[in-house]
Amino acid sequence: MTKGYEGPGEAAARLTGRPVVAGGTASGSPAEVTLAGGTPVMVKRGDAPGAVRAEVAGLRWLAAADAVRVPEVLGHDERWMVTERVPTGPADPGAAMRFGQALAALHAAGAPRFGTPPPDGPEDAYIGLAPMRNVPGTDWPAWYAEHRVLPYVRGAVDRGTLRPAEATVFERVCERLPDLAGPAEPPARLHGDLWNGNVLWGADGVVRLIDPAAHGGHRETDLAMLRLFGCPHLERVLAGYEEAAPPAEGWRERVGVHQLFPLLVHAVLFGRGYAERALEAARDALAR
């Protein structure tokens, strides 16, 4: 080991107090490591300031709702996080239905305000690799415009993935959000980055969620994110959700409004193709 360097194995041993018997020699993150006794764990490094603290706080806030399942956090510091490893299996329609019901229960656990970070979580958090500020607000359309749409429009313009004239399309959507948002709802407890890659289909038939960007938000945002990149048995997930807590009438027509946030984040991180998808969603919303 290079002097001063700590890899996943060393971090896992230090944070759990248990020797590592396999894995953890490579520098990749996340990494699978086996602790003494044969316990497999996942070790993840967060290089951005506050990233690990935000993720740990998010996982624990989701777990506290006693609704969806998340991997247990076994140890962490400001740079490293160790969680249980979830054995995965094929996606199952029954598990999808139960997941939808559990997701509805998670949302119903609520949050003090829109934008509220998890307890002990920082205001300056992340969604994937992009910074995300958790600034509380009481009015969802105004909060969503100010803290989830316009910052990433500006970021995409600064990076050249959106043209300055195109930014006006999103500004017009933001002006119309009070009419486009549907009936007012209380703040929901969101996973916040609920795309298919963060949904683990457990070998035991129980879905678990990883990598949250948790905050208080509108429950339709999580549902819209599930649809954005596809999810196995999505209609079964939604059927379970609707059975437990039906969304407000017309929610499927509002999916594009809620997808603006993740599409713009992707435009900032990954380029013009996502900017064009975000523009399409914005123009569709304005045509309603």
Residue 1 belongs to some domain of the structure = no
Q: Which amino acid is at 23?
A: G
Please indicate, yes or no, whether residues 74 and 132 belong to a single structural domain of this protein: no
The answer to whether residues 69 and 173 belong to one domain is no
Distance CA 59, CA 173 (A): 32
CATH number, residue 15: 3.30.200.20
pLDDT exceeds 50 at position 1: no
Asked whether residue 171 is domain-assigned, the answer is: yes
Please give the Cα distance from 173 to 283 (Å, whole number): 8
Mean pLDDT across the stretch 92-113?
Answer: 98
Lowest mean pLDDT among 4-8, 114-118, 241-245: 4-8
Residues 242 and 189 in one domain: yes
Provide the pLDDT for residue 133.
95
| Domains held by the chain: number | 2
- Render pLDDT for 13-52 as a digit per residue (tens, 0 to 9): 999 999 999 987 766 679 999 999 999 999 999 989 899 9
Domain shared by 193 and 104, yes or no: yes
CATH code where residue 269 lies: 3.90.1200.10
Task: Please tell me the predicted confidence (pLDDT) of residue 70.
Answer: 98
Tokens coding 176: 């119309």
Same domain, 61 and 200: no
In eight-state DSSP terms, residue 82 is E
The answer, yes or no, to whether residue 2 has pLDDT greater than 70, is: no
Range of the domain at 131: 93-286
- Judge whether residue 263 has pLDDT over 90: yes
Instruction: Say whether pLDDT at 157 is over 90.
Output: yes
In what helix (H) or strand (E) does residue 133 lie, and over which residues does it extend? Answer: strand 130-133
The confidence score (pLDDT) of residue 24 equals 73
Residues 163, 230 share a domain:
yes
Is residue 207 within 8 Å of 98, Cβ to Cβ? yes
The pTM for the full model equals 0.94
